[in-house]
């Protein structure tokens, strides 16, 4: 059975294996053993209530319980930018006016921003390519919103998602080549790696502090602003269907869109509801899968169930109930995996 659960200290080797498959642009999952070990430890301490708010972050693993293999990872940061700067570009306009010439022009520009400091963030989403089927990607991504629904008080009112920007098969970013390289004199992959391991001071030291006029960038750089990597387009569509929106903020390195939402307005947070567990030999088959979770933190579990809830109960097989660590009569949380219609 496929289950999402919090990461454990013994998941380090599995996360290293996944990190080696990410390629350039997945900043928060670098193949660095010390960094991943620290990230796992931080998730464990957060679940144990031992981390300060600026350090709090959760990691979740997608596990095949039959083999014990971890094939995916996703995360939530509780509050970004409280200890280390969290930069992006805000797209805005500047007005250029000359009464003498009768000229009035509105020009788009990018402004270095810390506007999202203190927001929560969904991040570190990666699924092994061999497991990108059977709605595993949706389960891995959306399970985080079940955790948000259960523990809203732990997070900010708004949440963001930085999307991987456009780059070619060699990891070359048109946005970086058109802007960042002029200030940093390093490759995009190097800048991406330094950010991923927490070395971010160079951004403030070297990034332009004045507005960057978009019209002055090369056309190929302009074209990818607010876009996402082709492999990331399904993830963007999924998040937007759940309530995230692009509000004109982009990544400072690859120009990828930053999406944001109010936690209370996310579909899963808003529409998920509680049922009592009813164990059955075989639930009536449904074409519509449900996300089903318990509301426990350290024992948090999420599965997909192809069953229809009754008025106050949700039918599970004994194996499904065991995977969720629930007994008949216990409370669970459930919501359709996707919006209908």
Residue at 68 is within a domain: no
User: Same domain for 118 and 252?
Assistant: yes
**Are the C-beta atoms of residues 60 and 72 closer than 8 Å to each other?**
no
User: Same domain for 281 and 140?
Assistant: no
Instruction: Give the contacts of 86 (CB within 8 A, at least 6 positions apart).
Output: 80, 114, 116, 117
pLDDT of residue 57: 97
Neighbours of 92 (CB within 10 A): 13
Start-to-end CA distance of the chain, whole Å, equals 29
User: Same domain for 241 and 288?
Assistant: no
Among residues 133, 182, 229, 274, the one annotated as catalytic is: 229
Residue at 140 is within a domain: yes
Which is it for the CA torsion 295, 296, 299, 300, positive or negative?
positive
User: Same domain for 188 and 295?
Assistant: no
Residue at 108 is within a domain: no
User: Same domain for 233 and 128?
Assistant: yes
User: Same domain for 122 and 207?
Assistant: yes
Torsions phi, psi of 221, nearest 5?
-75, -40
**Are the C-beta atoms of residues 327 and 162 closer than 8 Å to each other?**
no
User: Same domain for 174 and 281?
Assistant: no
**Are the C-beta atoms of residues 119 and 162 closer than 8 Å to each other?**
no
CATH number for the domain harbouring residue 325: 2.40.40.20
Give the residue among 202, 198, 214, 207 at the shortest CA–CA distance from 180: 207
Q: Range of 144's domain?
A: 77-88+114-266
**Are the C-beta atoms of residues 260 and 160 closer than 8 Å to each other?**
yes
Global pTM? 0.90
User: Same domain for 171 and 199?
Assistant: yes
Verify whether residue 133 is a known catalytic residue: no
The count of domains in the chain is: 2
User: Same domain for 84 and 215?
Assistant: yes
pLDDT per position as a tens digit, 237-294 = 999 999 999 999 999 889 999 999 999 999 999 999 999 999 998 877 778 999 999 9
User: Same domain for 132 and 255?
Assistant: yes
Weakly modelled stretches of the chain, pLDDT under 70: 23-28, 192-205, 341
């Amino acid at each position: 059975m496929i289950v999402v659960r919090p990461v454990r200290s013994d998941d380090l080797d599995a996360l290293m294996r996944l990190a080696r498959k990410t390629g350039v642009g997945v900043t928060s999952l670098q193949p660095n053993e010390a960094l991943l070990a620290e990230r796992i430890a931080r998730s464990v301490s957060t679940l144990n209530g031992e981390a300060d708010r600026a350090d709090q972050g959760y990691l979740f693993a997608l596990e095949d319980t039959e083999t014990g293999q971890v094939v995916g990872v996703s995360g939530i940061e509780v509050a970004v930018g409280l200890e280390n700067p969290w930069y992006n570009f805000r797209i805005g306009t500047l007005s250029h006016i000359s009464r003498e010439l009768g000229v009035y022009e509105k020009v788009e520009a990018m402004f270095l921003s810390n506007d999202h400091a203190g927001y929560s963030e969904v991040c570190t989403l990666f699924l092994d390519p061999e497991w990108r089927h059977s709605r595993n990607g949706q389960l891995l991504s959306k399970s985080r919103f079940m955790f948000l629904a259960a523990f809203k008080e732990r997070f900010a009112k708004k949440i963001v998602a930085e999307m991987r920007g456009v780059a070619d098969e060699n990891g070359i970013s048109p946005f970086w080549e058109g802007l960042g390289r002029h200030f940093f004199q390093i490759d995009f992959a190097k800048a991406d790696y330094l950010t991923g391991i927490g070395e971010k001071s160079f951004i403030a030291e070297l990034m332009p502090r004045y507005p960057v006029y978009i019209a002055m960038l090369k056309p190929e750089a302009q074209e990818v602003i607010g876009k996402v990597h082709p492999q990331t387009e399904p993830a963007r569509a999924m998040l937007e269907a759940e309530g995230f929106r692009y509000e004109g903020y982009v990544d400072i390195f690859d120009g990828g869109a930053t999406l944001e939402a109010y936690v209370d307005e996310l579909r899963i947070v808003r529409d998920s509801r509680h049922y009592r567990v009813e164990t059955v030999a075989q639930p009536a088959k449904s074409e519509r899968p449900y996300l089903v979770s318990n509301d426990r933190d350290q024992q948090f579990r999420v599965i997909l169930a192809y069953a229809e809830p009754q008025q106050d109960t949700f039918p599970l097989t004994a194996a499904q109930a065991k995977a969720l660590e629930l007994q008949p009569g216990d409370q669970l949380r459930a919501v359709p995996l996707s919006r209908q219609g």
